[in-house]
Amino acid sequence: MTRTRLSALATTAALTASGGLLTATPASAAVTCASPVWTAQYYANSTFSGTPKLTTCDTVIAENYGTGDPTGVTLPRDNFSVRWSVTRDFGSGGPFTFTAEAQDGIRVHLDGVRKIDLWKNVSTTQRKTVDVTVPAGRHTLSVYYAAWTGAANVTFGYTPITSATVDKVRPLAPTALNAWYDWTGTLKTTLNWPANKEMDLAGYSVYRRLGTSPTWNRISGSVPLTGRTYTDFPPPTGQSYAYEVRARDKAGNESAGSVDRMTGSVDRTGPSAPSGLTVYTGDWNNALRWQAPTGAVRYEVQAADLAAGPYTPLAPVVEPSYLDMSSARGVPRYYRVRAYDAAGNPSAYSAIVSGDRIDRTPPAAPSGLNSYAEVDATTLYWTAPDDFGQDFVNGGTYRVHRSPGTTLDRSALTRVTCAEGSDFSGTHGGCRDLDMTAGTFYTYAVTTVDPAGNESSFSAPLTVRTGDRVAPRPVTGLTATPRADGVLLRWSASTDDDLDDSPFSYAAWAGVPQADGSVRWLGPHACAEGESDPLAVLCGDMPDGETYVYAVVASDRWSNRLSPSDPSVVKVTATELDVRPSVRVTSDWRLGSRGQSTVSGAPAQPSINWSCAVAECETVAGYRMSRWNEATKAYEPRHTGLIPPTAGGPTWWTDTAAVPGNTYFYVLEALRADGGVVATHAWNTVYQNRV
């Protein structure tokens, strides 16, 4: 539209000449513009003052007035202004681009804060673009335009930035999701929801999960929905389902989920087909077994004379097994099974199997094979498999196999004839093997055999070394070392393969050499074994310088052992240390009984007990215990003061400071109050450090 630009003086002259009056154009009636439409207010000045000449609604700000008036309003030819404003919901907000062009001045405000300022009179169009982050929610945009002189145009726009590298703001979650399930008709779930407020909305995605699961699955596809309704056909399993909707913007950001909505579903889905159907054929029946599918509460077993059918139901069962005793022996019969859930929905049929009541199934193998080897017999014993009892009652049995050597050689197996006294039952077995060579390795295995002659696989093999009457060979490497607590014997391990594996594998002997060159053996009780070294032992009681002969013999599992006098047995001679005190003490104890340790090993420290049971005990004030100190060559008290008598019983004392590996000598004295000695008892203990 073209307008003629006149000066203010010319305008006044024209009006005077025509006799007219200059009157203001009345303001337009109140106008309400629905968001996001702009409310436009036109002013007959450049300062937006006074009453607007026109208030109207604009869908866009894109005006080119040229040198004329805006449409629908009469304004001065120069110096007029327009203000546009809109309050709208920006959803989650985010980055936006504001673009302004104007001749003459333009200013843009967001919630009263200036974002663009091109406020000057120009002869050409001026432009500016800015990126602005708009917070979430409702905000007011205001555009101020002033035309001072010359041509007039104005354009403004705001658009969201949809670049995925710039826009990282998730849309708001959709609200007010509705969902309902058609129980009697389509069996579908229908969903709808209100529009999202985002300006850069790409669409929506619908998610579903089982009511008992935390995992959501997108069911609406990878492309966002542009509409706000969705129809789903959930599996008719009788389960509950939860739905939610998420908004997605053009930058690919996805919102959180809406409030969940739960629906149910009709149960029209049967359980899975039974799997693992097998037939165990026997002389009395065809025994069917199968794996129970989840949700199955009963089963229908069907049979046919041909694999292709027709199939006839036999009986409903609630357990995953069935015994068919109606089939003919030796004639194939075919079976299939289907399951039903609690709602009566059937599964598909299982695979087809057949049976002819001829037992071809071997029983399970025995377990726990073990043995007890004697000199003249080897007794084997084992545990039968759990289901062998019925087979055994009806004629089942066991077979014992063996081969020479330490591994089961199937090419060299022989059957063992179990001797009288062997014990067979449906739960266990025992076999005495008398037909074997003494001192030989055999490897055994046992099988079960059912009444139809089906034999199981072998049990786990067991290697046995048979008994003999041959003593182990003499030990080697025997040494004897005198110590303060006895004579320590050490030797090398026997290489015999049948050595007794108990603590009595070896026996150590001490003997007194005789004038004629023979040895008077004292027996193995003179030596004490320790706990950690099976190839060492400590012999003797008090080390008092005596000379002894020592021997060690090995014992096998059948108690065969050499005599220490056997010429082949290695013997060593050793003289004890003499650790006795140089001061001799005469014992004159006459007050009562005494008892003390003579040879002990840790943790049993040297100890003694005594009693006082005569009239003279009335004069005893207490007792003193002294121990020989080799360094000072004297007996020294082991306590402060006196040991008080024990009323009505024996008095005990233990040397808690004694160290294993020594021999200790003590003097016990009963004392009167004036220090006089009533009675004396000398005693000693070999406190051995056993290995």
Least confident of 22-26, 255-259, 342-346, 614-618: 22-26
> In angstroms, how far is the first alpha carbon of the chain from the final one?
122
Amino acid identity of residue 398, one-letter, is Y
- Asked whether the predicted pLDDT for residue 518 surpasses 90, the reply is yes
Judgement on whether residues 135 and 45 belong to the same structural domain of the protein: yes
pTM here? 0.50
Residue 473 lies in a domain: no
The model's confidence at residue 8, banded by pLDDT at 50, 70 and 90, is: very low
Per the CB < 8 A criterion, the answer to whether 459 and 369 are in contact is: yes
Query: 690 — phi, psi (to 5°)?
Result: -75, 145
Judgement on whether residues 195 and 286 belong to the same structural domain of the protein: no
Of residues 452, 338, 351, 457, the one with CA closest to residue 408: 457
- Asked whether the predicted pLDDT for residue 13 surpasses 70, the reply is no
Least confident of 3-17, 153-167, 363-377: 3-17
Residue 290 lies in a domain: yes
The whole domain housing 28 covers 8-160
CATH number at residue 136: 2.60.120.260
Judgement on whether residues 401 and 425 belong to the same structural domain of the protein: yes
- Asked whether the predicted pLDDT for residue 358 surpasses 60, the reply is yes
Of residues 622, 635, 633, 630, the one with CA closest to residue 682: 635
Residue 360 lies in a domain: no
Residue 282 confidence (pLDDT): 81
- Asked whether the predicted pLDDT for residue 25 surpasses 70, the reply is no
Residue 15 confidence (pLDDT): 30
- Asked whether the predicted pLDDT for residue 529 surpasses 90, the reply is no
The model's confidence at residue 537, banded by pLDDT at 50, 70 and 90, is: very high
Residue 479 confidence (pLDDT): 97
Judgement on whether residues 675 and 611 belong to the same structural domain of the protein: yes
Per the CB < 8 A criterion, the answer to whether 366 and 448 are in contact is: yes
- For the chain, percent of residues with pLDDT exceeding 90: 81
CATH number at residue 287: 2.60.40.10
Beta bridge partners of 382: 429
Count of H-run helices and E-run strands, the chain: 2, 48
Distances from the Cα of 127 to the Cα of 101, 109, 117, 143, 443, angstroms:
4, 16, 10, 14, 102
Judgement on whether residues 185 and 228 belong to the same structural domain of the protein: yes
Residue whose token pair is 């337009």: 28
Burial of 455 by CB count in 10 Å (0-12 exposed, 13-18 middle, 19+ buried)? middle
Residue at a domain's end among 263, 287, 309: 263
Measured distance CA(676)–CA(621) in Å, rounded: 10
Residue at a domain's end among 310, 328, 355: 355
Between these two residues, 139 and 75, which has the higher pLDDT value? Answer: 139
Residue 73 confidence (pLDDT): 86
- Hey, what are 66's tokens? 């040229």
pLDDT tens sequence across 141-169:
999 999 999 999 999 999 999 999 999 99
Strands (E), 327-396: 333-340, 353-355, 367-373, 378-383
Per the CB < 8 A criterion, the answer to whether 446 and 456 are in contact is: no
Judgement on whether residues 316 and 279 belong to the same structural domain of the protein: yes
Judgement on whether residues 287 and 258 belong to the same structural domain of the protein: no
Mean residue pLDDT of the chain comes to 91
pLDDT tens sequence across 426-458:
899 999 999 999 999 999 999 999 988 999 999
Average pLDDT over residues 485-496: 93
Is the Cα dihedral 251, 254, 255, 258 positive or negative? Answer: positive
- Hey, what are 181's tokens? 């399930």
b/e map of 304-328 (b: 16 or more CB within 10 Å)? beeeeeebeebeeeeebebebeebe
Judgement on whether residues 392 and 309 belong to the same structural domain of the protein: no
Residue 169 lies in a domain: no
Per the CB < 8 A criterion, the answer to whether 442 and 432 are in contact is: no
pLDDT tens sequence across 56-65:
999 999 999 9
The model's confidence at residue 561, banded by pLDDT at 50, 70 and 90, is: very high
Measured distance CA(248)–CA(218) in Å, rounded: 13
Least confident of 2-6, 326-330, 414-418: 2-6
Residue 19 confidence (pLDDT): 33
Residue at a domain's end among 160, 192, 222: 160
Residue 422 confidence (pLDDT): 86
Judgement on whether residues 508 and 556 belong to the same structural domain of the protein: yes
- Asked whether the predicted pLDDT for residue 6 surpasses 50, the reply is no
Least confident of 310-314, 426-430, 499-503, 536-540: 499-503
- Asked whether the predicted pLDDT for residue 11 surpasses 70, the reply is no
Measured distance CA(161)–CA(140) in Å, rounded: 19
Residue 580 lies in a domain: no
Q: What are all long-range contacts of 581-586, with beta carbons under 8 Å and residues at least 24 apart?
A: 581/628, 581/630, 581/635, 581/665, 582/633, 583/628, 583/633, 583/634, 583/635, 585/635, 585/667, 585/680, 585/682, 586/680, 586/682
Residue 670 confidence (pLDDT): 96
Of residues 456, 249, 431, the one with CA closest to residue 365: 456
Residue 664 lies in a domain: yes
Judgement on whether residues 35 and 115 belong to the same structural domain of the protein: yes
Residue 688 confidence (pLDDT): 92
Residue 12 confidence (pLDDT): 30
Q: Looking at the 3D structure of the chain, how many domains does it have?
A: 6
pLDDT tens sequence across 65-91:
987 777 788 888 889 999 999 999 999
Measured distance CA(112)–CA(229) in Å, rounded: 39
Judgement on whether residues 40 and 105 belong to the same structural domain of the protein: yes
Average pLDDT over residues 569-597: 94
Length of the chain: 691
Average pLDDT over residues 97-118: 97
Residue 166 lies in a domain: no
pLDDT tens sequence across 331-353:
999 999 999 999 899 999 999 99
pLDDT tens sequence across 168-190:
999 999 999 999 999 999 999 99
Judgement on whether residues 38 and 115 belong to the same structural domain of the protein: yes
Measured distance CA(344)–CA(273) in Å, rounded: 14
Residue 172 lies in a domain: no
